[in-house]
Structure 1
């Protein structure tokens, strides 16, 4: 299922994150409750970050395709690039994927990881040739 780029946010970091809003996979992803910041692995899911798109593939027919080239990428200094985010995901071996009802205006990680309203977890990156 294709998710419009305005419903996604790529966040750079040592372990990068991909935030999704109104994603069709929300109910399939497990609820995340990690108030200590230790995000659980999202078993059965994989991530394929490409230059123009990012695929989050789940079990069976579950999955979402994000038009990464058109989606916002942020880091601690403001805007980043998709190439930077992809490099972060490669170094980390994947990314934290969180599905939310709506994208936050402020990244409040304790809330996002401890409220029980987020679904997802750490999704390992598939090797890209």
Structure 2
């Protein structure tokens, strides 16, 4: 997976962190998400394994992908860009604290994050993925 087609977003309490994916071969395998109230459902049979250099999205059967996390962009909870291994380590810590992360597959990574649009339009796919332990 090309890291330019990903965006890791740090948790904003009380919510979990978010991973946005664009142009992924998993898009049609993930369930459709419509959560206008912000309550993102659990993505059954899918899990997440974030590590310092790679993040694995693991699905049922052979579905899954690896993201080179150490070079992927990370936004903090205010929308400011963070760089490097420390930013990914902080995102991973957020995911561990939340027990997982929201993973959304989109047509493209938006220039501006509009949560009501992303979660209410019916075009996003994914959900909350528990950590693989």
User: Residue 120 of structure 1: which of 112, 115, 126 is its match?
Assistant: 126
Indicate the SS of the match to 1:44.
strand
Extract unaligned runs of 5+ from structure 2.
Answer: none
Partner of 1:79: 81
Is 1:107 aligned to 2:108, yes or no?
Answer: no
* Structure 1 residues 89-104: aligned runs within 5 Å: 89-104=95-110
Extract unaligned runs of 5+ from structure 1.
Answer: none
Partner of 2:49: 48
Partner of 2:4: 6
Q: Alpha carbons of 1:77 and 1:39: their partners in 2 closer, same or farther (altered >3 Å)?
A: closer
Separation in 2, partners of 1:115, 1:79? 26
Q: CA deviation at 1:79?
A: 2.1
Separation in 2, partners of 1:79, 1:36? 26
Post-superposition, which runs of at least 4 consecutive aligned residues in structure 1 deviate over 2 A? none
Partner of 1:63: 64
Aligned residue pairs, count? 125
**TM-score normalised by L of structure 1:** 0.94
- Give the helix-richer structure, 1 or 2: 2
How much is the aligned-residue C-alpha RMSD, in angstroms? 0.8
